[in-house]
Amino acid sequence: MSHAIASLNCSDCPIRHSAVCARCDAKELEQLEAIKYYRNFEAGQTIAWAGDELGFVASVVRGVAKLSQTLEDGRTQMLGLLLPSDFIGRPGRLRTSYDVTAVSDITLCCFRRKPFEALLAATPHISERLLTMTLDELDAAREWMLILGRKTAREKIASLLTIIARREATIALARIKGPVMINLPLTREAMADYLGLTLETVSRQMSALKGENIIVLDGKRRVQVPDIRRLMQETGDDVDGGMVA
């Protein structure tokens, strides 16, 4: 697989300040270094099946994975995306509840489960950060329910772009002046699957946003947003994140 990562020092890690280790001091990083290893998966490859025993927990270093569940009739419901710095697995829970599949080529920073659970119990910085990330994940799940249940196709596309931009930004989106560049981790097909839309609808809505100069397409996976507030206005939310009546 291209750009596969075999080894990386924590100090050089691109998710160092946003992952579960974000609050760790030098000694704690050394402890994590001793139990970590990297795994690389190609786009489309299954990382874990629902019900599998997962012998590790992991942070996404690069790439994107999806969480999904297969219904009794064979249909698949997509439940969410895992982006860089997101956490896979639950300490204290051996089996995974959902299928986890690589959407793009992906690298995971894995920690052996039992040593990580022991470190978690002894290291408040890690447990506090994991709690914060879990609460953020709950907020993301609620946002996902809103996107699927209440929003129009245009609002869904704008919301997805805004979510990705928010994850890549170092400051609040509303405070950004000037253009924002979004590295889109999904194909149009994956966007359609994620948002519960057809491929044609996704393409049509992206073209409409482009035609109104709300976004500028730079190849297949890069989207420039001249004014992020204009994009945010298309999400159906107010600038504070609440649903517009």
Tell whether 60 and 159 lie within a shared domain: no
Q: 83, 40 in Cβ contact below 8 A?
A: no
Tell whether 38 and 121 lie within a shared domain: yes
Number of domains in the chain: 2
53 domain-assigned:
yes
Q: What is the pLDDT of residues 10-28, one digit of tens each?
A: 777 888 888 888 888 888 8
**Measured torsion, CA atoms of residues 118, 121, 123, 128, in degrees rounded to the nearest 10:** 130
Quote the CA–CA distance of 128 and 123 in Å, as a whole number.
9
156 domain-assigned:
yes
10 Å CB burial of residue 117 (0-12, 13-18, 19+) is middle
4 domain-assigned:
no
For residue 201, what are the domain limits? 151-233
**Given its phi and psi angles, is residue 244 left (phi above 0), alpha (psi -120 to 50 degrees) or beta?**
beta
Tell whether 134 and 180 lie within a shared domain: no
Tell whether 170 and 124 lie within a shared domain: no
215 domain-assigned:
yes
- In the sheet that 222-225 helps form, which strands lie side by side, from edge to edge? 180-183, 222-225, 216-217
2 domain-assigned:
no
Tell whether 133 and 173 lie within a shared domain: no
Domain end call among 120, 144, 168: 144
| b/e per residue 46-74 (b: at least 16 CB within 10 A) | ebbeeeeebebbbbbbbbbbbbbeeeeee
Tell whether 16 and 71 lie within a shared domain: yes
10 Å CB burial of residue 203 (0-12, 13-18, 19+) is middle
Residue 153 pLDDT > 80, yes or no? yes
10 Å CB burial of residue 106 (0-12, 13-18, 19+) is buried
Please give the average per-residue pLDDT across 32-47, as a whole number. Answer: 93
245 domain-assigned:
no
Quote the CA–CA distance of 112 and 58 in Å, as a whole number.
9
10 Å CB burial of residue 201 (0-12, 13-18, 19+) is middle
Quote the CA–CA distance of 121 and 216 in Å, as a whole number.
47
Domain end call among 94, 118, 144: 144
What pLDDT, on the 0 to 100 scale, is given for residue 176?
78
Please give the average per-residue pLDDT across 31-55, as a whole number. Answer: 92
Residue 171, domain CATH? 1.10.10.10
What pLDDT, on the 0 to 100 scale, is given for residue 238?
60
Tell whether 182 and 199 lie within a shared domain: yes
Residue 45, domain CATH? 2.60.120.10
Residues sharing a CB contact under 8 Å with residue 167, sequence separation 6 or more, in sequence order:
83, 84
Tell whether 28 and 119 lie within a shared domain: yes
Residues sharing a CB contact under 8 Å with residue 190, sequence separation 6 or more, in sequence order:
66, 103
Distances, alpha carbon 77 to alpha carbons 81, 148, 188, in Å: 12, 11, 17
Tell whether 167 and 96 lie within a shared domain: no
Domain end call among 102, 119, 144: 144
Residue 245 pLDDT > 50, yes or no? no
Say what the pTM is.
0.77
Tell whether 60 and 161 lie within a shared domain: no
Q: 225, 178 in Cβ contact below 8 A?
A: no
Tell whether 96 and 173 lie within a shared domain: no
Tell whether 140 and 197 lie within a shared domain: no
166 domain-assigned:
yes
3 domain-assigned:
no
Residue 49 pLDDT > 90, yes or no? yes
What is the three-class DSSP state of 46?
Answer: strand
